Amino acid sequence: MAEKALAIRHEVFVKGQNVDPALEYEHEDDAHHYLLLLDEKPAATARWRETESGIKLERFATLEEYRNKGFGAALLKEILKDIIPLKKKIYLHSQLTAVKFYEKYGFVKEGEIFFEANIGHYKMIFASGSSVPSQ
C-alpha cells in the first residue's frame, strides 16, 4: 500500500507541482496512510499524523484522471470518522485551490496565507462541534 500511495504523491506533488522530494517524503513512519482504489487501481491517497498541535491531515492527492469524482471527499470523510473520536484538535495546511473544498467539510481558515514548497496555503482548523458530513 505505501508504495502505491507514494507513487500517487510523486505524480501529483513532485512531478505535477514541482515539490522537492525531500519535503514531500517526510514523517512517513509517523503517519497513518490511506489509499483509495478504484477497480483495484490506486486513485487517491491521504494521511494523518499526531503533532504537538493536534492531529494534522496531510498529503491529499488524487491522480488527474480521477479528480472531481468525489474521491478526495471520500478519503476526508473516512479519516474524520477515524480521528474525531480521539477528541484532539484537527487541522491541515490547505493549498489555496482546495480551501473551498475543506470549508464544505467543517474546516475554517486561521491566520494569513503562508508558503510551503513555494505553494500558497492557509492553516485550516476543523470546527469544534462539526461532525462528518453524510453527503
User: Using one digit for the tens of pLDDT, what is the confidence trace for 45-94?
Assistant: 999 999 999 999 999 999 999 999 999 999 999 999 999 999 999 999 99
What does the alpha-carbon distance between residue 100 and residue 16 come to, in Å, rounded to a whole number?
A: 21
Q: Is 68 exposed, middle or buried (0-12, 13-18, 19+ CB in 10 A)?
A: exposed
**Residue at grid coordinates 503562508:** 114
Q: Is 60 exposed, middle or buried (0-12, 13-18, 19+ CB in 10 A)?
A: buried
Ordered domains of the chain (ranges, CATH): 2-126 (3.40.630.30)
pLDDT of residue 134: 59
Residue 84: alpha-carbon gap to chain centroid: 15
- Average of per-residue pLDDT values in the chain: 92
Model confidence at 24: pLDDT above 80:
yes
Q: Which helix (H) or strand (E) holds 19?
A: none
pTM score above 0.85: yes
Closest of 121, 86, 85, 84 to residue 106, by C-alpha: 84
**What is the rounded (10 degree) CA torsion for 99, 23, 79, 120?**
0
Model confidence at 131: pLDDT above 70:
no
